[in-house]
């Protein structure tokens, strides 16, 4: 080692700079030399592409490092360099952060050996390399496959449209359960076997890469058709099914695929391919798993709109519910055609999309949890409106929808009780509607809270009865005051005698249990006449009036009390 140090001490820094110029294009890392005597620094020219160097050669080394070293890490770097200059250290090995040209911190590992004068021991220069330790690996040792960095190199080699073919992204379903039940080490074994199963199914002109986490990407740049890709997916699925059997069902799993035909790609970049293929695989999993979804631009546009709506809804909730509106649809007694109340309905309006359908924004509110603050908002708007209308129609009732999520994840029941008291409304004039669901039927928590509402005199309606999970447990466990027959059931009953007789039985059963029955979806006089023969208590539908803002509702149904 001493002999090597003597040789290096005789080498001039200019010569080392020339060597760097020769080697840098062959290396992923950045090679550098730091000349302590002349306070000079030289690094591979490729570093200038990513980091804010004015040039790859500069003097005043410490001062210039302040331009690209992440500020919190600068003092520890200077401390290490000072130790080298003081003769306390003969090497440099630090993990710290530089800043890229976009101002983002990048973790690097900087290593170097110090060469000293063989007589005086003075530090002459340091030569070493810098490598980015946060970058993706070229290959993955768990699966034995090339990684995303290699895929990026492949895609980056094309300056124009990609050749005809496809990208098929694959991922085992519910893989997290394997790690949780059998351990991470066994999970790694399964990933290796999945890679092996996929590889067996590929032709020589198809390439397989390990993507993030438990996902894999197949690239076919040789004109593979959609039918070819789907057949490949099916072959892979069968191979994996066989492995599960041969492995004695120790780990049982299926695999989903997201197929991206390259002819549908408009932006030829690595990031875009990753983005669209990830969307395709996620769509496959959302559609039931163990299947292959074929990407379409139309579906992706719907996804982007939904994501944008989610952003707008969050902004609106945070901005005092700007864009939200309370609409009201009249409810009538069937025997007299007198208005007895209204159902409050949430609407959402944006400058970007106009009036958004509840079928679009309500599910987003529920999935994000925004239904909790939005539900409180519509609750207060509704009961305040009921209070105003009761000045004209003393027996007026307001019907308010509450979701399962609100009941389980918020204090909405107490909020309802407090709002009734706050606005000094008779509890019997407030009807809370809950849509039936399998979750509701199996949740004792729901039943207890529902009972609390009834104990306070607030009426309970079971909405959308006749669809979904309808069963007699609802009637026994929840003891609603009102059954609301869903519009889809109403339509079937109007078109089919069997369905009509079934609706009659439900209506008669409700009355025998001393429940009120409301038929939804009456849209014309013929439907009204037909429904009258069943003698339900209430009715609702476009024939009587469409949902509308308060002012329109007041002018049409309150001032004139439509008959």
pLDDT tens-place string over residues 284-309: 999 999 999 999 999 999 999 999 99
Q: What is the pLDDT of residue 343?
A: 96
Let me know: does 339 contact 540? Beta carbons within 8 Å.
no
**Cβ atoms < 10 Å from Cβ of 215:** 20
Q: What is the pLDDT of residue 438?
A: 45
pTM for this prediction: 0.76
Going by pLDDT thresholds of 50, 70 and 90, the confidence category of residue 5 is low
If you ran DSSP here, which 8-state letter would residue 52 be given? -
Q: What is the pLDDT of residue 1?
A: 45
Residue, of 348 and 483, whose pLDDT is higher: 348
Burial 83-93 (b: 16+ CB within 10 A, else e): ebeeeeeeebe
| CA-wise closest residue to 428 among 456, 450, 459 | 459
Q: Is the pLDDT of residue 405 over 90?
A: no
Give the residue-averaged pLDDT of 489-516: 88
Residue 63, CA distances (Å) to 58, 98, 107, 298, 301 in order? 10, 14, 20, 53, 49
Q: What is the pLDDT of residue 347?
A: 97
pLDDT tens-place string over residues 446-466: 777 778 898 999 999 988 776
Rounded distance between C-alpha atoms, residue 331 and residue 538, angstroms: 7
Q: What is the pLDDT of residue 6?
A: 54
Q: Is the pLDDT of residue 331 over 90?
A: yes
Residue, of 116 and 326, whose pLDDT is higher: 326
Q: Is the pLDDT of residue 31 over 60?
A: yes
Residue, of 400 and 149, whose pLDDT is higher: 400
pLDDT tens-place string over residues 89-117: 889 999 999 999 999 899 999 999 999 88
Going by pLDDT thresholds of 50, 70 and 90, the confidence category of residue 563 is very low
Q: What is the pLDDT of residue 471?
A: 55
Structure tokens at 129: 């390399």
Q: Which domains does the chain possess?
A: 2-132 (3.30.450.20), 139-295 (3.30.70.270), 306-558 (3.20.20.450)
Residue 434, CA distances (Å) to 375, 422, 448, 452, 458 in order? 13, 23, 14, 14, 13
Share of the chain above pLDDT 70, in %: 93
Q: What is the pLDDT of residue 478?
A: 72
pLDDT tens-place string over residues 379-389: 999 999 999 99
């Amino acid at each position: 080692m001493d002999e090597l140090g003597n040789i290096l001490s005789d080498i001039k820094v200019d010569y080392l700079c020339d060597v760097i110029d020769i080697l840098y294009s062959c290396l992923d890392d950045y090679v550098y030399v730091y000349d302590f005597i002349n306070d000079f620094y030289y690094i591979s020219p490729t570093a200038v592409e990513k980091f804010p160097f004015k040039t790859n050669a500069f003097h005043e080394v410490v001062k210039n490092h302040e331009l690209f070293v992440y500020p919190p890490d600068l003092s520890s770097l200077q401390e290490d360099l000072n130790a080298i200059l003081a003769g306390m250290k003969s090497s440099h090995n630090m993990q710290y952060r530089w800043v890229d040209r976009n101002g983002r911190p990048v973790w690097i590992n900087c290593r170097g050996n110090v060469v000293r004068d063989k007589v005086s021991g003075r530090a002459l220069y340091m030569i070493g390399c810098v490598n980015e330790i946060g970058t993706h690996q070229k290959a993955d040792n768990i699966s034995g496959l090339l990684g995303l960095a290699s895929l990026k190199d492949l895609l980056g080699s094309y300056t124009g449209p990609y050749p005809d073919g496809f990208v098929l992204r694959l991922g085992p379903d519910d893989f997290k359960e394997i790690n949780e039940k059998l351990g991470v080490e066994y999970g790694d074994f399964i990933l290796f076997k999945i890679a092996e199963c996929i590889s067996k199914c590929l032709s020589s002109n198809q390439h397989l890469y390990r993507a993030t986490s438990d996902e894999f990407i197949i690239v076919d740049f040789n004109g593979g058709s959609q039918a070819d890709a789907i057949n490949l997916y099916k072959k892979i699925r069968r191979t994996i099914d066989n492995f599960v059997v041969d492995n004695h069902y120790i780990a049982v799993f299926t695999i989903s695929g997201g197929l991206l035909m390259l002819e549908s790609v408009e932006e030829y970049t690595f990031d875009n391919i990753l983005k669209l293929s990830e969307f395709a695989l996620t769509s496959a999993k959302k559609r039931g798993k163990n299947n292959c979804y074929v990407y379409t631009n139309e579906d992706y546009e719907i996804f982007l709109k939904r994501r944008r709506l989610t952003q707008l809804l969050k902004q609106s909730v945070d901005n005092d519910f700007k864009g939200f509106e309370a609409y009201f649809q009249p409810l009538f007694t069937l025997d007299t055609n007198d208005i007895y109340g209204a159902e409050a309905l949430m609407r959402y309006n944006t400058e970007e999309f106009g009036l958004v359908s509840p079928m679009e924004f309500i599910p987003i509110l529920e999935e994000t949890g925004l239904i909790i603050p939005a539900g409180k908002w519509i609750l207060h708007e509704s009961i305040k409106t009921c209070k105003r209308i009761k000045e004209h129609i003393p027996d007026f009732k307001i019907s308010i929808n509450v979701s399962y999520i609100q009941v389980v994840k918020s204090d909405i029941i107490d909020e309802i009780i407090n709002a009734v008291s706050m606005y000094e409304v008779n509890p019997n004039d407030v009807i809370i509607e809950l849509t039936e669901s399998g979750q509701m039927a199996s949740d004792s928590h729901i039943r207890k809270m529902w009972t609390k509402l009834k104990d306070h005199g607030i009426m309970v309606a079971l909405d959308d009865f006749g669809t979904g999970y309808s069963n007699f447990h609802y009637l026994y466990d929840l003891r609603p005051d009102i059954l609301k027959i869903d519009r889809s059931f109403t339509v079937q009953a109007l078109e089919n005698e069997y369905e009509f007789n079934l609706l009659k039985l439900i209506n008669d059963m409700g009355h025998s249990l001393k429940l009120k029955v409301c038929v939804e979806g009456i849209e014309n006089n013929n439907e009204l006449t037909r429904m009258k023969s069943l003698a339900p208590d209430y009715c609702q539908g476009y024939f009587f009036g469409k949902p509308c803002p308060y002012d329109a509702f007041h002018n049409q149904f309150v001032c004139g009390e439509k008959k």
